[in-house]
Amino acid sequence: MPTDSFLQRRNRALVAFVYLTGVRVAALITLRLNHVDCERRLVHQQAAEQVATKNSKTMRTAWFPVGKEFEQIVIDWVAEMTSLDTNPETPLFPRGERRLFGSQDQSGWEFLSSDDAVVDIMAAAAAAVGVRRFTPHRLRDTIASMIDKWAVTLAEQKALSQNMGHANMRTTFERYGPVSEKQQHELIANICQRGKTEIDFDIVLAYANAEEYKKKSIRVLLLGDR
């Protein structure tokens, strides 16, 4: 993506940020500079500070392991914004460069006006590099589809799912990360090619012999069953 102008750098950073954090658009356009912790690789989605999270849920989101390049783009953007005439309350992705009059806050920086502004930015980004148009939600789909590749254990899958703002993994895998029929067949073929799989029968037996309330707790933790 081009980076010659302030708005071009903002657009590139915005796309990288959505891919890096998986934040929903409503939250994205209400984030401020003080909500991003580059050192700890966290985003503080504070509903009490007017970040428009789903169901007004406050959460701290860790950056997903999508690559150092994406991290650096966001870090550079935060550094650029901090070097300008800004303060911690300044919008993370402002509508444009600082204005002297008619601003939404005293610093002269305005928030993006709506979700449509983000959709337009991503459409322009796709056109600039000659790829098919994509939406913010498609980036969340992409993150969800990567969870099974990143995670080695069920606990890691749960952590990544929660990082997307989902209370249980079922939401992640049923709504965001379906497996196509082709992928289904390829995955099963790969399992068959691996041959006999070692199973930790101690764990299987421990679950089988556990009291029912413990089994239910495990199902709720991992699958969101009730």
Q: Residues with Cβ < 8 Å from 174, sequence gap 6 or more? A: none
Alpha helix (H) residue ranges in the chain: 6-21, 25-28, 68-83, 115-129, 136-150, 154-163, 169-171, 181-194, 201-209, 212-223
Q: Residues with Cβ < 8 Å from 207, sequence gap 6 or more? A: 215, 218
Calculate helix-pair angle for 154-163, 212-223, nearest 10 degrees: 50
- In whole numbers, what is the pLDDT of the chain averaged over residues? 76
pLDDT of 51 reads 76
- Tell me the pLDDT band of 100, cut-offs 50, 70 and 90: very low
pLDDT at 102 exceeding the cut of 60: no
d(CA 169, CA 177): 10
Which range of 134-143, 173-182, 195-204 scores highest in mean pLDDT? It is 134-143
According to CATH, the superfamily of the domain at 6-134 is: Intergrase catalytic core (1.10.443.10)
Please write the tens of the pLDDT for every residue from 176-201.
Answer: 555 566 765 665 566 566 555 454 54
- Tell me the pLDDT band of 36, cut-offs 50, 70 and 90: very high
pTM of the model: 0.70
Residue 161, helix vs strand vs coil? helix
Quickly count: other Cβ atoms within 10 Å of residue 162's Cβ: 16
pLDDT of 101 reads 41
Listed in order, the ranges of the chain carrying CATH 1.10.443.10 are 6-134
Q: What's the rounded mean pLDDT across residues 211-219? A: 67
pLDDT of 207 reads 59
Percent of the chain with pLDDT over 90: 19
Q: What's the rounded mean pLDDT across residues 54-70? A: 83
pLDDT of 184 reads 58
- Tell me the pLDDT band of 166, cut-offs 50, 70 and 90: low
Give the pair of three-digit tokens for residue 124: 């322009």
